[in-house]
Structure 1
């Protein structure tokens, strides 16, 4: 037993030493951050250090001798290792100040700043997506507030500035009437790349395709016959960045194609899979390029125009399709032109690049006193592959908890219940996981009130059973990538 304990002491001391020296190693990075974010940034870096290597056997050995296996240490990682070492007889003149209580309080304060106080009967905040139809059902807004809505989401990709303003005015009026509060979240539209049929199916708005068949991508549609399925991606300059073998997805991943060849007139795609009920490629459907490096700004000209109104109305701003720290810097510059007190930014993680760059994005965001992250699982699933969504959404959640960053769990929460009035068994389980986040976003649908009632019950039961936790720590490639580059 003595040799086993010696081995544990040695392994933990090595990790503790690397973490204790990390502020010196990353001094230049930490010096640019907001003072209120400093301890959170240190904890994030320490968590990345922990997750760069495989410690699963170390965790098993710790558990076997009755010590902490580090399974719930995201918010206070160095402190947890020091306390565990203390149980092994190692003394410290000073412990790391980032305790479990400190981390939990930081997340709570940041969540309150972003989403306001959540309803007393709810363990987390709830964000409901609005559209113009709500203006015709003013009593409905009152019911939403009374049933748990604490944040109203307005998507700048839909409706128009006049409608947004009307919705905000109606929310304010209803809040005053009921005495209930509601934060306002505006999602910037971002560079949503959509299909525009240029030849076959142009007039009908849809074209029949088949597995093994060909679809062309072209900016102009010139040089093709009326029998060719030709799609413009509605964003100039994309095609020159595509390479043979790269995957292209249409319509939220229902159609998968691959770049087959590239010619002067366009890019030829071979259709590999059609998962929709009918083999149709339609106008105005999303296109995803998960394997391609596209020279396209995450902040579009339309977004820049929207910001003038958004900064006057919004409590938080959602940055859609953010990919790099430079994107975030670009947004901050635009906000600074409009106001000295910009609303906090919510990073919408919905691209492969954003997942890879997540630690860098969080640290760049820490130059401001408060921000959040939305796990936008719709486009994210298409970008990274549906089969990887479970692990990636968990990894995002863990890393955000390490940085004391509030998380919004978004897209298709109780979607079947929302649309049909009946929940599937799988989405009930998913909703239980959603309840671990600081905020849950639900889309618009026919049964929003029923969704809120069901979600409240699930959330209360789930939070009563557990808090965020995980059992074993395999290496995270996200952590390895960041530490190798810094």
Structure 2
């Protein structure tokens, strides 16, 4: 069976996160486990983390923050609305004939004529006027307004704080535990990322930040967000509400392409196999959706409700793995289309060698690219060219191994680094030969340091295990 290159993120829940279940997901193809802090307590997060680590120390763990969001609040009974009916909204009190939201300055930030979408667009209101600290709105469709439901105001920038009190609690918890990634919700600009990074810096935490892009402001500021974030998530749920849905596919392609060029991990998320919450089989449209994200080069695809509470969680992961392997076998490499990744002058030899390694492996062809890495950078640059040759990365750091669990095409393992490059090559070859990854007479490409204490990657070698193990 072909090895899967695209990584799969699975959302776990407190009610479905025991070791046996996590093992099933891992065996089916899960690479990263996601904990949604909106739906779990700190104690439940502790239990889930311990269960994940009991299954495998190579599974990356990502937690989602809630981020700056507006929700309905203090609604005791559902409010039934009819098309054309007047509905009032306030951030300071519960108005007669309406509801309150959890953002006090909501009425100041939202101008007349704005569209207000409630519960992922289930209810559509239009602001017609304002009276003191209330917005007067017209209901554009029938429905029920419920408590604690999301509020979106497309194309309007709300002056919300980047972090909630709950976010700060979970970030503090993450810095005291063994977490690799924080996915921060509703990132609008680099300042939102730095609000989280400043806390991590104070705690001297190595946790990587994934910026969830969920509105137009985030899309427009993508380049500057990538200057400070480890990677991004194309969070298509809120993005498809804040921005016209027909624009999202093009935005998704642009974001994936930009991240690949910047050597930043990119996750494609939301409703990828949504029907499998209730059905044992995905729709043809869903299969095409997942495959097209993989054709575009996404590092990872994510399952949310499918694994958190759906009826067919393991089947969803298996389906996604099957789609990935098939799409990867069909798509072409992009190694010849991308320029060499530009960094400071002292790092350019490594970057030229990385592109050469991928191109050489494709042309020969070689069965594997092997690299040793402390930070994961060399492996990530090789992976950014999206070649078809699997990349095996060996690191002395288990944290680096788990960080690479999010990156396309990289199969990372921990290895005690021997004193010489020659011994490193032999040790890594023996392990991969034992696993049946290739044969003694297959060509392999090794990229790493010519000396075990080299400051940067400066060594590229092509040969067979039969020769290298002599």
TM-score range, shorter chain: 0.5 to 0.7
Could you say which structure has the greater relative contact order, defined with CA pairs below 8 angstroms and 6 or more residues apart? 1
8 Å CA contact 1:222–1:265 kept in 2: the answer is no
User: Are residue 466 (structure 1) and residue 334 (structure 2) matched?
Assistant: no
Report SS of the residue matched to 1:291.
coil
The residue aligned with 1:250 is 118
CA–CA distance in structure 2, aligned partners of residues 161 and 245 of structure 1: 41
CA–CA distance in structure 1, aligned partners of residues 64 and 106 of structure 2: 24
Shift of 1:400: 1.5
8 Å CA contact 2:213–2:232 kept in 1: the answer is yes
Shift of 1:464: 1.6
The residue aligned with 2:135 is 267
Bigger drift between 290-299 and 161-170 goes to 290-299
Please point out which of 132, 154, 168 is paired with 1:304: 168
The residue aligned with 2:59 is 182
CA–CA distance in structure 2, aligned partners of residues 452 and 212 of structure 1: 44
8 Å CA contact 2:2–2:325 kept in 1: the answer is no
Shift of 1:468: 7.4
More helix by share: 1
User: Are residue 203 (structure 1) and residue 80 (structure 2) matched?
Assistant: no
8 Å CA contact 1:409–1:434 kept in 2: the answer is yes
Please point out which of 221, 226, 230 is paired with 1:362: 226
CA–CA distance in structure 1, aligned partners of residues 181 and 94 of structure 2: 44
- CA 1:393 to 1:223, structure 2 compared with 1: closer, same or farther past 3 Å? closer
Uncovered stretches (5+) of structure 1, i.e. residues with no partner: 1-118, 366-370, 470-486
Q: Deviations over 1:74-96 (max 9, x none)?
A: xxxxxxxxxxxxxxxxxxxxxxx
Mapping for residues 58-207 of structure 1, pairs under 5 Å: 121-135=3-17, 137-175=18-56, 181-197=58-74, 202-204=75-77, 206-207=78-79
- CA 1:125 to 1:222, structure 2 compared with 1: closer, same or farther past 3 Å? closer
8 Å CA contact 1:317–1:345 kept in 2: the answer is yes
CA–CA distance in structure 1, aligned partners of residues 298 and 88 of structure 2: 41
8 Å CA contact 2:95–2:134 kept in 1: the answer is no
CA–CA distance in structure 2, aligned partners of residues 328 and 134 of structure 1: 30
CA–CA distance in structure 2, aligned partners of residues 121 and 450 of structure 1: 18
Mapping for residues 380-419 of structure 1, pairs under 5 Å: 380-419=239-278
CA–CA distance in structure 2, aligned partners of residues 355 and 413 of structure 1: 20
8 Å CA contact 1:126–1:148 kept in 2: the answer is yes
Mapping for residues 226-241 of structure 1, pairs under 5 Å: 228=97, 230-241=98-109
- CA 1:208 to 1:330, structure 2 compared with 1: closer, same or farther past 3 Å? same
The residue aligned with 1:440 is 301
Shift of 1:422: 2.9
- CA 1:171 to 1:268, structure 2 compared with 1: closer, same or farther past 3 Å? same
- CA 1:336 to 1:266, structure 2 compared with 1: closer, same or farther past 3 Å? same
Q: Deviations over 1:344-399 (max 9, x none)?
A: 1101111111011111211233xxxxx11111111110010212111111121122
CA–CA distance in structure 2, aligned partners of residues 361 and 321 of structure 1: 12
Report SS of the residue matched to 2:128.
strand
- CA 1:468 to 1:416, structure 2 compared with 1: closer, same or farther past 3 Å? farther
CA–CA distance in structure 2, aligned partners of residues 468 and 290 of structure 1: 37
Uncovered stretches (5+) of structure 2, i.e. residues with no partner: 335-470
Report SS of the residue matched to 1:132.
coil
Report SS of the residue matched to 1:379.
helix
8 Å CA contact 1:223–1:265 kept in 2: the answer is no
Shift of 1:329: 2.0
The residue aligned with 2:87 is 215
The residue aligned with 1:329 is 194
CA–CA distance in structure 2, aligned partners of residues 335 and 353 of structure 1: 24
8 Å CA contact 2:67–2:186 kept in 1: the answer is yes
CA–CA distance in structure 1, aligned partners of residues 51 and 180 of structure 2: 16
- CA 1:165 to 1:266, structure 2 compared with 1: closer, same or farther past 3 Å? same
Shift of 1:223: 5.8
| TM-score, length basis structure 2 | 0.66
Please point out which of 212, 216, 237 is paired with 1:352: 216
Aligned residues: 327
Please point out which of 294, 297, 306 is paired with 2:158: 294
CA–CA distance in structure 1, aligned partners of residues 63 and 156 of structure 2: 28
CA–CA distance in structure 2, aligned partners of residues 217 and 352 of structure 1: 24
* C-alpha RMSD of matched pairs (Å): 1.9
CA–CA distance in structure 1, aligned partners of residues 87 and 94 of structure 2: 14
CA–CA distance in structure 2, aligned partners of residues 184 and 427 of structure 1: 25
- CA 1:196 to 1:260, structure 2 compared with 1: closer, same or farther past 3 Å? same
